[in-house]
A = this chain, B = another copy of it.
Amino acid sequence: MNDLDTILSVIENPTRRRILMALVREPHYPLQLSKELGVSQQAIMKNLDILEKNGLVESRKESSDRGPVKMVYRPTSEFTLTIDMRNGLFRATLSMPASVDDAQENRDMEFDEVRETLSEIDRQISEFDRLREEMIERRNRMMSSFMHGPIASELGYLERSIIYGMLNSPEHDASEVSREMGLRDDTTTKVVNDIENKCKDPKRVMRNE
């Protein structure tokens, strides 16, 4: 339902991000959002519409004791979207959380305890972000130094693209990378063989010494 293209095009709008931020807290009706965000009801409605058409929120009619039936909006989509951009790496990933059983986390915790636990969780999230960051940097350095090294720099444009493709998807073999790049298998295989031979060439080792 949700793909990366759709999600990016929807959440690039700051008002829509603010609407989502309010809706994840609790369901809202448009007038409430309009007051909460200081944005006209018309703009709220337009953006709720876009969010709903793209599967990020849903609306339900809710009757109240006084006044007419209201439309109440709540979020429906759950994801983590990550864009890594480096001089040497561009990666956009979208992951949907596995549905976890709705275990009650807090038995009878006091407010301070809940805050402390959340704070500890946030520290751990930052730590995982930092470790991930280190790995991304290492990956980028490794790829860049190969691509700017003596062997790859002797290649032509197409050959460099193929080698980059092979390094960028190290889990994929030559024919999978060919498919990803819309190339013929034998083109890729030839370039890979050439680079493998060059790497093994004893003259290169001497040149580097």
Contact = CB atoms under 8 A, between A and B. Distances in A.
A92 B80 CA distance: 10
Interface stretch (A6-14, A41-49, A59-67): A6-14
Interface string A133-152: 10111110111011101000
B85 A116 contact: no
A24 B106 contact: no
A87 B78 contact: yes
Instruction: Report the copy number of this chain in the oligomer.
Output: 2
Given A17-B92, A24-B86, A125 B136 contact: yes
What 5 A-B pairs are tightest by C-beta distance, nearest first?
A: A12-B12, A119-B170, A128-B132, A118-B170, A105-B142
A102 interface: yes
A1 interface: no
A154 interface: no
A75 interface: yes
